[in-house]
Amino acid sequence: MKISIQTRITKNDLLVLPFYEGKSPKPTQDEALQNQHHPDFEGKLSEQVMIYQKDKISPRILLIGLGPQDKETTETWRRAGGSLATQLKKSIQNITIIPPKENIEFVAAFAEGLLLKHYQYEEVFTDKKRKLTKIQNLSLIIQDKKIGNALKKQLDEIITTTEAVHAVRDMVNAPSNKMSPSLLAKKAQEIAKKSRHLTCKVYGETRLKKMKMGCLIGVGQGAQEETKFIVLEHKYKSKNKKPIVLVGKGICFDAGGINIKMRELPEMKFDMAGAATILGVFQILSKYKLPLHVIGLAPCAENMLGSKAVKPGDILTAYDGTTIEIKNTDAEGRLVLADAIAYAIKNYKPSSIIDVATLTGAAITALGYDISALVSNNNDLKKALKGAAQAADEKIWELPLDADYKDKIKGQIADLDNYSAEVSAGTIMGGAFLEHFTKQTPWAHIDMGGSAWAKEEKPHIPKGATGRMVRTLWKFLKNS
């Protein structure tokens, strides 16, 4: 797709005019548009009216509402832009947009909303008619040259980040037989090949046993698919002496193990969304020479019910030697993350660790499907992540890591229990378990139990995998 900044309207398939609620259209240099209006159009947020005209330059004009101007935010502009995606047909490949104001952040958000929403998983479609029409050209009419140049630079980055979000959605939407731990590892290796500043190592079960990654091996031992541990590294003139480590849970299918899940099994292919998020961030890093040292870790397995599967009451030994009694085999995500965090501490001595995971259903009970939970042991890291999430309009909410909860993870016959049913605070307890392995290193845990998967369409997110947290983590790294 080509994005261009222009000062005059050129031939297009669709001319888009975003308007504020109750405001008159912005005057333009094109006389045919100066009095463009529709009696039924009020300008409410994401409201749309299509006008067809016999015009060789713009055969269609779409009026899109931005809502009240005094309540505008990047999020309202992004939602309005997302609503534009619903209008794209086979005959619409060249789009021109005339924004009502030349504000870089707002106009960029509008374009980003369009690109984020214009997606569907279609890798296994055989009918080409079901595939989305690709946007060939997107033009924005901007009169101020300085603003236009700055906007073009920002839009180029938005294309890169949106492509990464789409790649993550493809990985998460893919059925587990097309996104196994081995196939996910292959994706990571392909990403690393895109830049000489990236490297990728993949450890299989034989090596993992020698490394004594007891939790990761234990979770995957009931599956036929081989467990993998992905290690990605970005290093370019790094200003940080100690690396930032990003960790993502990669359970490519979660049947629950012996504690089998009783519902929504078809969706359990999405339990590797954390690992996919890490790969998405590294896809962005492959395009930019960011002066940082960043490590990405993705412990990948399938949590199945084979004859060799770990059983409730079994004891596993983590990478750092911690013994864990398995009280619930469906609390497996924290086990694989524990090994990865312990590996990061021992091998990299990082400045900070951020893990992202579809860890608990309790996150849905607490925050629903649009907000990710945040648990952390460091105020500065929390502040930086909250700022990045706000800039990306990807909502996160902090939950307390209380000392009383941390005491509840202690086991009776092992160092820790992986599940404490009597406590109920499932999301916090998952975070408390992981915090044990951080050894006081600044750490943050983002639980995407609800936010990684959309059960229904959102303003700029299609149904299915959301790709959330890719843009947040990218903004965090850029500001680090």
Q: Which residues are catalytic?
A: 261, 334
b/e string for 424-451 if b means 16 or more Cβ within 10 A?
Answer: ebbbbbbbbbbbbbbeebbbbbbbbbbb
- Give the span between the Cα atoms of 430 and 334, in whole angstroms: 6
Structure tokens at 352: 């900070």
Three-state SS at 105:
helix
Three-state SS at 287:
coil
Proportion of the chain in helix, strand, coil states, percent, rounded to 5 = 35, 20, 40
- Give the span between the Cα atoms of 388 and 396, in whole angstroms: 10
| C-alpha dihedral (387, 388, 392, 396), degrees to nearest 10 | -70
C-beta of residue 403 within 8 angstroms of C-beta of residue 431: no
C-beta of residue 39 within 8 angstroms of C-beta of residue 11: no
- Cβ neighbours of residue 240 under 8 Å, at least 6 residues apart? 292, 293, 351, 480
C-beta of residue 302 within 8 angstroms of C-beta of residue 219: no
* C-alpha closest to that of 424 among 372, 375, 377, 366: 366
- Give the span between the Cα atoms of 179 and 124, in whole angstroms: 13
CA angle 133, 283, 215 (to 5 degrees): 120
- Cβ neighbours of residue 226 under 8 Å, at least 6 residues apart? 181, 182, 204, 205, 220
- Give the span between the Cα atoms of 251 and 228, in whole angstroms: 10
Three-state SS at 479:
coil
- Give the span between the Cα atoms of 143 and 194, in whole angstroms: 37
C-beta of residue 462 within 8 angstroms of C-beta of residue 454: yes
* C-alpha closest to that of 81 among 65, 92, 103: 65
Backbone angles phi, psi at 263, to 5 degrees: -155, 165
**Could you identify the residue written with the tokens 């492959």?**
286
- Give the span between the Cα atoms of 149 and 50, in whole angstroms: 30
